[in-house]
Structure formats: structure tokens, C-alpha cells
A and B are shown apart, each in its own frame.
Chain A
Amino acid sequence: MWNSLLTPEFYNSILRATTPILFATLASGVAAKSGICNMALEGILLFSALFGVIFSSVTHSFLLGILLTMVVGGCIGLFMAFFILNMKTDEILAAIAINLIATGGTVLLLLAFSGDRGSSTSITNVSAPVLVIPFIQDIPFIGKILSGQNVLTYLALIMVVVMHLFIYKTPLGLKIRAVGENKNAAESVGISSRKIQYISLVLSGVLCSLGGYFLSGGYMNMFTKDMSAGKGFIALAASSMGGDTPIGGFLVSMLFGAAQAFANMMQLTTIPVELIQMIPYLTTLIGLAIFSYIVMKRKAKLSGK
């Protein structure tokens, strides 16, 4: 079992487990930066996992499939923004509605498209391809980790940098942060907070839909009922633990991914399974404790001066 920790497969499984959570974490981060808690990630993941399968099978193309899925993700974000911003619905209520629609709605749509209720086995979908990087793949050990991952895994990692630059280095990113920090102050200098929040929620939906596509076309090669299995909520936790920043969110989702992959490996030992299944959550708790301790220290230092 300990030898397994030294195999490239273990590190691959970390990256695989991290990818969907990372997309959703970034999605949660950008919404949070604009001052909205996007709790509908779970539902968006599930919807886009289903639509990824449907669109890629209809278009027979990965690119078209994922583009259309992103449109669906954006539309759900738009839908949510409309209710929250125009209709003044409570954001948590709106999110619960979307999550509930997702559990029932995906089954209904699945039934309509495939005649099945449990999984999309009768639909032939196009999964995101695996990318083999020449030269790098020849490096022993590391090559097997850095190369041969799913395209979407690479995209997720790239998106961390892109989102970081977007939020901290662009005018629009500045506006998003301004609205999130203080809506009235932002409005007073002529920023339309509604427009900015619309943009962040749509962006959030699009980012999250990439994670959903990966679930059914990359991680698995089919849609199965309720396959998001709480990943949206884990991402929500990861994002807030990482201070809603892309880099912080990335680190925490890697931690979650690693804890999950480690727990998966641990199941091969004779340690009781109940203990092992606690690992990811225990990691979260410990991580959270360390994190808030650091924040507290820093605050104490600042106020002390």
C-alpha cells in the first residue's frame, strides 16, 4: 500500500479527483468576489455533466459539445442572476431551487434523450481527449504525471492563472472586487453593480460547467444519476477556505484531491473503512483550523502595531 504512494498512478488520481472540484472552486471564487455566494454549483455540475453527454453525442465533437455545455452553464448563471438581482430572490433560495431542479430535471432529461433513468449508457458521448506532451512524457516518473492527463485537467490548471490575472490585473476584475467589497461605494463611482454581478455569475456558471463536462466526459465516460455527489459543496468549502482567491482555492482543492486519493489507497489496507472515509473531511477540518489560526495571528499582529 505504501508503495502505491510512490507510483505515478497515485498522483494521476490526485489530479483527476481535483479537476472537477477545482473548476467549481474557481467558479465559486469569482462569484464570491462579486459578493454572491453561488451555492448552485452542485446543480450546475450535474446539469452540465448531463448536457456534456447530450451535446457531445449530438454534435459528435468534443469542442462543440463543451462549447454548448459552457453556454448551458452560462445560462444557468444568467438565470440565477436574474432571480437574485432583478427579482430580489434570496441567493440561497435560488441556489436550492436550482439544485433541486437538477436532481429531478437531469433524470427527466436523461429519460427523454436515452430512455434510461439511471445512466446514459445508451448515448455515445465524446469524452475530453487525453493530452500527451512530447519529450516531457519521456522523463521517468514525472513525465507520467505531467503528460497524459485529460485536456480539461490542464485547462483547470491554466484557468487558475487566468482567473488570478483576471481578478487582480484587469479593470473588470477590479470592478468585481469593488462590488464585492462594498456595493454602495462601487456604485458611487459609477460602476453598475448589477451588471458586474451578472457578469460574475455567468462566468461562474461557465467555469463550473467545465467541471461538469469533465465528470461525465473525462473522469467517467457516461452520465450517471446524481453523479456530482456533493462535489459542488466541497468546492464551495474549498473556495472559502482558500479565501475565495484562485490560488488559494487551487491549493485547497489540491489538498482535497490528495486527501481523497489517499483515502482511496487506504481502503486497500485493513484499517476500518469508516475511519478512512473520514480522511477527506478530517483534512478539511484540520486545514480550516490551521488556516483560521494563521489569519488570527496575522490580524493580531496587525492590530498590535
Chain B
Amino acid sequence: MKKAMVFALSLTMVLSMAGCGSKKETEAPATEAKTEAAKETEAVKETEAVTKAAVETEGATEKTTSEGTYKAAFLIPGTLGDKSFWDSGNDGLTKLRDELGADVFDFKVEQMGGNAADMANYEPTFLDYADSGEYDVIITGSWQCVDGIISAMEMYPDQKFILFDEEFDFEGNGNPETMYNIMFKQNEVSYLVGAEAAMMSESGIVSFLGGMDGKVINDFLVGYIQGAKDTNPDIKVAVSMVGDYEDSAKGKDLSLAMYNAGADCGFNVAGNAGLGLIEAAAETGKYAFGVDSDQAALLPEYAEFIPTSALKNVGDALYTSIKRDMAGELPYGTTEYLGFAENGVGLVEDAHYEEIVPEDVRTKVDELQEKITSGEIEVFSSSTMSTDEIEELKASVAVQ
């Protein structure tokens, strides 16, 4: 009896895990977050694609898997529908497929799930995909995937990989000639947010809510501080770290503490916990800058408190990388840093932005962006700074 129950229980657990990943193996265009209109066109496209495929299968069955098709596997350590990173990547690849046709370029999305329990599956998934040999390139992103990808690289030295948003250490890890590494210059876009916050702040205090004290978050932070300081040398920057990316309630408390201490513009870089900053801004009537996706559009209730959002253009980056790879021009074995010049990062600049942010601020921001693009302004980066230098920078603008 007891054994049977233990079995039933483990079944429940397995089912629950299956539940959270039930959308795994979805073919690419099935992103939920599409408007009705988009869905319809999508449906039309899909039927077209199906008919096309059907015609092709009638003609020559082997053609679909023939060498002419460039196939990519997009393995994400999370799920689609995040309205940010992974959706952006999926959109970029979908755009490329729509443009070139599914017989020239096709891709498959594997949603590996983002829970702690899913992490154990990353490595086997990479190995499976590399082992199948069907894919010209395997694309993935963020730090969780690095270990899995390294072991796949070591076992399959001919398989090509693209890794974005986490610096890859080419020294001694697999065949470096098979890895192309994309990094985003989040510090550049963060500089603009800092400058904008400093210009919009009336109290002379701006705030920053980070997830964890780590390299990427600090890259955002140093850019933000530099941007704010260059614009207003007397600016104070209140900095808080949630300690994780989930605890939105704690994020809200930290943000309220910063807003109550006088800050009137904040920047959240803390995943879901960062939503706490936006709620705190709405509650105190202050401003909060968004990150990773157009948060003003995603949170219409709070839009009036969100002037703009800082974006990493994952989709564009993948789109260009694949195109370059098809032309044989992708520099494997190197890490490329995509900033404003490469259209790797950017601010949301739409009607909403123009409505909230005064024109003189916007012009100034555009000028700064040009200066960064041309290299006239060199933005600090956490990757070239020591911990002491970062602490020093933080201390120089600390609220006392």
C-alpha cells in the first residue's frame, strides 16, 4: 500500500513537471502573446507553409531535410511567452524564416523550462540535439546553459553553437571554432537610462533596483551611474539588490524605501522582482524605467509611470548572425559585443515615450546615443572594472 502511494505520489510530481513544460517542442510560430490580427495572418502563413510542405513532399520527399535547408535549433532555458528575451529571439528567427521561406531556413524551438527542477535536463537536451546532427547551428542564451553547451561542444566537435548574453570562455572549452558568442552592451543603453533619469529627476536622487550583485547587473549599474553622473554631477544614486529575480514583494519594499528616501526616478533590472519597482513607482507617483521588454506596453495600468524601457535586441542579433552564417561570414571562435552601433541594444522610442519625456530630454538622449555610437563617450563596463572600482563608483554617488 505504502509503496503504491509513493509511486502515485512520484507520478503526481512527474505529471506536475510535465505540466509546467507541456508546451515543449512547440513549433516556432505558436507564441501565445500575439494579437488576434497577428494570429490570423500567422494562421494563413501556417496553412501556406503546410500546403507548400505538402507540395514539396509530393515532389521529392527528401527535399525537406536536404542540404539546402539551413536548420537551427533554438534551445531556451525557460519558456516562450516571457515577452522579453526568448520571445524576441523567436520573433527574430520567425522573421528570417518568413523572409527566406521554410525551405531555405527553418528552426525548431525547444522550451527547456526555467525551474530549478528543469536545469538537470539542459545538458542531455544539448547532447540530444548535437547528436541528431540535423541542425546547422544550436542557439541558446544566458548563463544557465553554459555547462551543458560546453559538454556538448566537447562531445560533438563539429556541431556549431551560438550563445548569447553570457560571456563564453574559449580557453580550453571544446573546439572554439564551433562557438560564436554574442554579448549585449547593456551598459550603453543603461547609460542613456541613467542620463534620462537624471534629467527627469527633480529631487536629484535616482534609484536602481538590481536582481543579484553579478556581472550583467553591475554592467547595467555602472552604465546607469555614469550616465546619471555625466548629466548631473551632483546626482545621487540609491542602489538596492533584491537577492533573487522572483521576490516581487521584496522588490517593492526596497523600491518604496528608495522612493521614500527621495528618489523620483528608478530603473529595474531584476526580472519579475523588478515589477515591484514599477508598482512602488505607481504607488508613490514617481517614475520607473523598464527593462528587457517594452514594459509600458505590457503594463498598461502603470504605463504613465514608465517613460521607456531598455531593450536587448536578441531577435535582431540572431537574425543577422544566421544571415552572416549562411553567407559563411560569422566569426566563430570570437565573442562579439553588440551595442548601439550594431543595433544590439536600444530604448523604446514610441508615441508613449514622446508623451511622457519632454522634448529637450529626448533630443539630449539622442545626442548622447550618437556620441556613444561614434565612440566619443566611452561607457564603463563591469567586465573591465574591478570590484573595488565598482564600489568606488557606487560610493561616489551614494545617498548619505
Residues of A within 8 A of B (CB): 1, 4, 7, 9, 13, 16-17, 20, 83, 87-90, 93-94, 96-97, 100-101, 103-105, 107-108, 111, 115-119, 121, 124, 215, 219-222, 224-227, 229-230, 260-261, 264-265, 267-270, 272-274, 277
Contact = CB atoms under 8 A, between A and B. Distances in A.
A111 B82 CA distance: 11
B279 A268 contact: no
Contact of A100 (B16, B256, B400): B16
B244 A104 contact: no
B241 A261 contact: no
A269 B6 CA distance: 50
A268 B240 contact: yes
Given A83-B9, A89-B9, A265-B257, A273 B241 contact: yes
Interface in B1-27: 1-2, 5-6, 8-9, 12-13, 16-17, 19-23
B95 to A, nearest CB: 22
Given A108-B19, A108-B20, A267 B239 contact: yes
A107 B20 contact: yes
A94 B257 CA distance: 39
Main SS at interface, chain B: helix
B343 interface: no
Q: Identify which of B23, B238, B275, B391 gathers the most chain A CB atoms within 10 Å of its CB.
A: B275
Given A89-B5, A100-B117, A108-B20, A121 B257 contact: no
Contacts of B32: 111, 115-116
Interface residues of B, number: 58
B315 interface: no
B247 A227 contact: yes
Nearest to A277: B243
A97 B13 contact: yes
B5 A83 contact: yes
A164 B299 CA distance: 42
B289 to A, nearest CB: 17
Q: Identify which of B22, B81, B248 gathers the most chain A CB atoms within 10 Å of its CB.
A: B248
Q: Identify which of B244, B247, B398 gathers the most chain A CB atoms within 10 Å of its CB.
A: B247
Contact of B279 (A1, A87, A118, A221): A221
Nearest to B238: A268
Given A219-B252, A227-B247, A273 B213 contact: yes
Contact of A264 (B115, B213, B248, B257): B257
Given A97-B16, A229-B244, A264 B253 contact: yes
Nearest to B82: A118
A117 B258 contact: no
A100 B261 contact: no
